[in-house]
A and B are shown apart, each in its own frame.
Chain A
Amino acid sequence: MFKKWGLLATSAVMAFALAGCGGKSGSESGGGSASSPASSASSSAPASDAGSGETVTLKFLNISEYLDSAEFKAFLERFEAKYPNIKVDPISVPHEQYINKRNIMLASGEQVDLLWGNGVEQFDAINKGFLMPLDDAAKEAGIDMSKDFGDFKPDKDGKYYRFPIQQNNWMLYYNKKAFDDAGVPYPDPKVPMTWDEMADVAQKITNTSGKDKVYGMFYNNWGMYFYGYGSQLNNGKFYTDDGKANINAPEFKRSLEWMNDVMNVKKAAMPIAEFIQNNTDFLSYWNGGYGMVVGAQWYAQLAATKKDKFPRDWKAGIAPMPVPKEMAGKHMNWSSIDSLA
């Protein structure tokens, strides 16, 4: 919730956020209720009191991939039909422009009531004082932030600033044709490869001699592709106990060195200069020139629902995300909570 417009936003935040409360209001049938969370929450917001008949418009900043979806539009129709005095004005921004747009809006004081963001983006806004704590508003609406969302801890100084929505599920995606062409067996569907094994397999699959280059491994120019192996090693200890950056810890160094081995020694991933020069992005994986990529659920969603946009003549496979040899046999995930604030 953007600090400047906190009160106005309260009703909608509660309405959205109560999605996570799993039937707390008892309104399970989907029918209207005089004590529905939105109307309860509205009572804490004088300007938007549901009973006053006054219509409020709430600006909801989110990425286009969500807001432009048919599912969201359908949701919006239903939401506004049920809460006719709350209008939602979606501000749709393409994913690659989202952070810049969001930062500009926040820094300039432009009105926005609801913000989607991943952990980095939301904590950045919290630290910079752009968001307001939700504790009081949640209390008025009858939401127990410490229980209604499971084991969700306060964000800063014992206060909550956001409502969790979802957690990513990361896994290994692979191109079966690239494996077949190289005569390499597919990854085990249950037992993860170690990162060292993945590097070796990537090297075997790589074939950059022909017209159509195949790199054994694809990566994105996102942090976790470089430090994520280290996070698995030290349980995500990105900060020292006194709150400083822990990025020079041995685990992260090993993580970066692993990537260097794959990219520059084994030559099994695109050199970073070429990656940046080509404007490669995470969708580039689908052009078929790569053997494996670690990716979250959105890759599968794209493979499942966007076959027309990303046509391919090869089959995809999925397997658990690679792990350090110290964690061999364990199923691991990089956890990031997307939330509304």
Chain B
Amino acid sequence: MILAQEYVSDYTLSTGALPMYTKVNKDKYYEDLANALKDDGITLEQVTYLFGGDPNVINVEEKPVLGAPQEYESTFLDIISQYYTGAKTVDEVLNEVKEKVDAAIEEQKNQ
């Protein structure tokens, strides 16, 4: 158990993200990070506030993760570039993404 906890702590140190439900010494993590960034003028207070220390932060979904999530993401990225190159309108690309993702969701339901 403790070894597993150590894994998460190591994981934390190697990626910069705090684990969600494992008790780690967040203060030390913040201090170490702020210390490494002090030449940039980044303070401990800033690090603490932005790296998970603000209890009032509002979290929203980063990406679609339910029906056909991988198809959702890849289809979206494949198609929207046509909007940014001027080949299609925003409505055209979004409707096209929706149509293809809906089909992928339906297909996965039937699998």
A15 touches B3 (CB 8 A): yes
Chain B residues whose C-beta falls within 8 Å of the C-beta of A74 in the assembled complex: 10
Count residues on chain A whose CB falls below 8 Å from chain B CBs.
Answer: 113
Partner pick for A19 among B8, B40, B80, B97, CB 8 A cutoff: B8
Contact-residue bracket for chain B? 35 or more
Is A139 an interface position by the 8 A CB rule?
no
Q: Are A223 and B2 in contact (CB under 8 A)?
A: no
Q: Are B69 and A256 in contact (CB under 8 A)?
A: no
Task: Pick from B3, B21, B70 the residue with the most CB of A within 10 Å.
Answer: B3
Residue of B nearest to A27 (CB): B1
Inter-subunit contact B94/A247 (CB<8 Å): yes
Q: Which residues of B contact A25 (CB under 8 A)?
A: 1
Determine how close the nearest CB of chain B comes to the CB of A265; give it in whole angstroms. 11
B15 part of interface (Cβ distance < 8 Å): yes
Contact with A along B60-99 (1 / 0, CB 8 A): 1111111111111100110011011110001101110110
The verdict on A231 contacting chain B, using a C-beta distance below 8 Å, is yes
Contact of B65 among A66, A119, A189, A276 (CB under 8 A): A119
Q: Is A160 an interface residue (CB 8 A)?
A: no
A128 & B108 in contact (Cβ 8 Å cutoff): yes
* Interface residue from A168, A190, A223 paired with B73 (Cβ < 8 Å): A223
**Any B CB within 8 A of the CB of A23:** yes
B28 on the interface (CB 8 Å rule)?
no
Query: Are A245 and B72 in contact, with the CB atoms below 8 A?
Result: yes
Contact indicator A263/B105 (Cβ below 8 Å): no
Task: List the B residue with the shortest CB-CB distance to A71.
Answer: B10
Residue in B6, B46, B64, B67 whose CB lies within 8 Å of A318: B46
Partner of B49, one of A36, A75, A129, A190: A190
Q: A135-193: which residues lie under 8 A (CB-CB) from chain B?
A: 148-150, 152, 164-171, 176, 189-190
B15 touches A301 (CB 8 A): yes
CB <8 Å contact, A273 and B85: yes
In the complex, residue of chain A having the shortest beta-carbon distance to the beta carbon of B49: A190
CA distance A318 to B81 in the complex (A): 29
Q: Determine the chain A residues whose CB is within 8 A of the CB of B7 once the complex forms.
A: 16, 19, 72, 75, 79
A-B complex: 3 closest residue pairs judged by Cβ atoms: A236-B61, A301-B16, A304-B36
Question: Which A residues fall within an 8 A CB radius of B?
Answer: 15-25, 27-30, 33, 36-38, 65-66, 69-72, 74-75, 78-79, 82-83, 99, 103, 118-124, 127-129, 148-150, 152, 164-171, 176, 189-190, 221-224, 226-228, 231-232, 235-236, 238-239, 243-248, 252-253, 256-257, 259-260, 263-264, 271-273, 276, 296-298, 300-301, 303-305, 315-320, 327, 330-338
Task: Please report B residues at the A interface, Cβ cutoff 8 Å.
Answer: 1-8, 10-23, 33, 36-37, 39-43, 45-47, 49-52, 54, 56-73, 76-77, 80-81, 83-86, 90-91, 93-95, 97-98, 101-102, 105, 108, 111
